Structure 1
Amino acid sequence: MEIKKGLVEITEDESRMVVDERFLLINFPVKKAVKINQYYDKIRNKEKQHIQSEIQNLAGFSEEAALLWSEKEAFEKLLTVTYSLLKKNPVLMVYTAGISPESTSIYKNMMKDILEDQEDKSLYLVRNAYTFTSFEYQ
């Protein structure tokens, strides 16, 4: 399989067809995937501060991103864990289940900015598909 560089968005169905050991899975409901909360807790506080500073320097924080960073712990953890793992691994696949559409959109834009400077890195973003159903009440 050819791995594209930069940020690549794929669907859940497409992610199921990827069987490639080069991908480090993040936030997937499988045993071998990195779990965001567990990995975040393992990062030392000093390293977290350094990572967060690097993210701010590379991507900058829009008003929306700064607000999300201060108000939503899940957004901060996702960004910190992804960036930390991206420094150590060339190819990541991140599943956005549990992350709001607003947070996912800002995360995607920030990661695009970060990946511009890193020619040898790939981040496959698996967007959680929302399905709508209709109910008829009688």
Structure 2
Amino acid sequence: MTAVLAPVAGTAIGLVAVPDPVFSQAMVGPGSAIDPRREPGQAVAPISGTIVKLRAHAYIVLGDDGRGVLVHLGIDTVQLKGEGFRLLAAEGDRVRAGQPVVFWDPAAVEAGGRSPICPVVALDAAAGEVDGEVRGGVGAGDELFHWS
């Protein structure tokens, strides 16, 4: 079983509440989501492994067991072209769960008319493989769900 950590502090709300059908309908995989606190901060690695994709607004960490977890910082934030985000790691880096990856400001994302909600997705997982999803307040690095 893999424990997947919350990449940001806020309120864990579940994927179904994400205002994007790609995530809310679990098209890229099951998982959870966080409505982040509206303050600048670090988004951390949800699992230990290697950063296989890193963009300002999203990243994938691939664990040694071959499981990849996607963190998407806000919805439609790709349109910001990196503005308001600062990379704290690089693609190909080995990271430990809870290690900072990106610095961002959810309030600025929201002020720009986009949702700051952060989907956290177990890529290529079957629907029943994710359980124990936390709801309510979480800190960055707290357990968010299990991937069995």
Q: TM-score scaled by structure 2? A: 0.28
The one of the two structures with greater contact order (alpha-carbon pairs below 8 A, sep at least 6) is 1
Structure with greater helix share of residues? 1
Larger C-alpha radius of gyration, 1 or 2?
Answer: 1
Structure with greater strand share of residues? 2
